[in-house]
Amino acid sequence: MERFEKQAIAYTSACHGLVHILEVTYGVILVSIAQEFGASFFVLGVLANILGFAFGATALPAGFLTDRFGERRLLILCCLGMGVAAIAVGLSPSIYMLGAALAVLGLALGIYHPTGAAFIARVATQRGLAFGYLGVAGNIGLALGPLLAGVIASFMGWRAAYFIFAIPAFFLAAMFFFSARTEANFTQQSTTETGAERSSLRPVIVPLGLIFCASILNGFIYRGTVTFLPLYLSQQIHLTFLNLDSVLIAGSFTTIALIFGIGGQFLGGYLLERRRHESLVFATALVVVPLLVVVGNSAGLVLMIAASAFAFFYFMGQPIYNCLIADYSPTDWRGRVYGISFFCAFGLGSFSASILGYVADRLGTNWVFMVAAGFGLLVLICTIALLVRALKVSGYNKIGAE
């Protein structure tokens, strides 16, 4: 593995972790924000919707700009934007300014996914494992983010969390900037480009369309669960320990659940080198639906086990989806295709925060996960269609070869 390839995977993975730390921090400090500004769950859901939609909306232009100007420049912009926006969130004097600052933060965070995924798809010689490592770093951020934010918010206030998280953002911007000299010696001959022979999207419109539909629905699941899981766990698991407040308890339980996603990401990346990608994504979708139903109908230890299992299998699917997009997208379209995919997942999917916030207000927080299970059932239908198509195409190719 080339020196630049190792650096690219390391820096891009670290950036992925920080992106998700900043993304999930809002859900952990949601109670503190509600107390300070006197906001309802619906208003808090709308703010999460603003953050999430901005997160996803940036993916489209970021994908186009990645194809035009290169990944490294966009990653530098992403890191600088995260740092500045995090400071703005921490300085917000009102609920309206907080919403505006969260929108800017979402725009900065949204640059990362299409750019980082296109970067890894270009430089990695073992693409499945590289996406696995990338996913592991993202889940470390998702898992540790609630705990870190909860600890900082409990002892220093919720604003301090954003100030502290701005520091590594500026550091990573510097690392990407100074890696330019190493990148100049890296040649594209060392990369794996499975889609290089295709220059048109027409032959792959159907599978990409199914992937995009699944991305929207997975985005509904992701935004709703990440936003309301800390609150739901704090409601359903009652534990008093060392007089710690509800923010820290919620963050700790969420970390315990989401840390299992790390193993899922790694297993997904490992299996990508050995199994049909369409079969793997179907298997993950099949398991996620019943687990969400159990999460929405349990408490205590059963809830923790179900939430942990859900995190494992849900996040196992992420490197698989990233690899599928690389499989089906032409090389010169890759940034844009990733941009569309992440816009579907994070932009359109962000509306579930408002929808599920309304559901939580009217029916109870447990219904967030019941509705998410319905979204998961639709994902399963998309993956079945994708697998059936892939099996038919491989069957035709086998007959043609004979």
Three-state DSSP string of the chain: CCHHHHHHHHHHHHHHHHHHHHHHHHHHCHHHHHHHHCCCHHHHHHHHHHHHHHHHHCHHHHHHHHHHHCHHHHHHHHHHHHHHHHHHHHCCCCHHHHHHHHHHHHHHHHCHHHHHHHHHHHHCCCHHHHHHHHHHHHHHHHHHHHHHHHHHHHHHCHHHHHHHHHHHHHHHHHHHHHCHHHHCCCCHHHCCCCCCCCCCCHHHHHHHHHHHHHHHHHHHHHHHHHHHHHHHHHHHCCCCCCCCCHHHHHHHHHHHHHCHHHHHHHHHHHHHCCCCHHHHHHHHHHHHHHHHHHHCCCCHHHHHHHHHHHHHHHHHHHHHHHHHHHHHCCHHHHHHHHHHHHHHHHHHHHHHHHHHHHHHHHHCCHHHHHHHHHHHHHHHHHHHHHHHHHHHHHHHHHHHHC
What is the pLDDT of the chain when averaged over all its residues? 82
pTM for the model: 0.73
Average pLDDT over residues 220-227: 82
For 83-93, the pLDDT digits (tens) are 999 999 999 88
For 138-173, the pLDDT digits (tens) are 878 877 887 888 889 888 888 999 999 999 999 999
Q: Which range has the worst mean pLDDT, 36-40, 77-81, 86-90, 120-124? A: 36-40
For 333-389, the pLDDT digits (tens) are 888 888 888 888 877 887 887 788 888 888 888 899 999 999 999 999 999 999 998
Is residue 42 over pLDDT 90?
no
Is residue 135 over pLDDT 60?
yes
pLDDT of 22 reads 92
Q: Which range has the worst mean pLDDT, 58-62, 233-237, 290-294, 299-303? A: 233-237
For 164-219, the pLDDT digits (tens) are 999 999 999 998 888 765 555 554 444 444 444 445 667 778 888 999 999 899 98
Ordered by where they begin, the domains of the chain are 3-182+202-401 (1.20.1250.20)
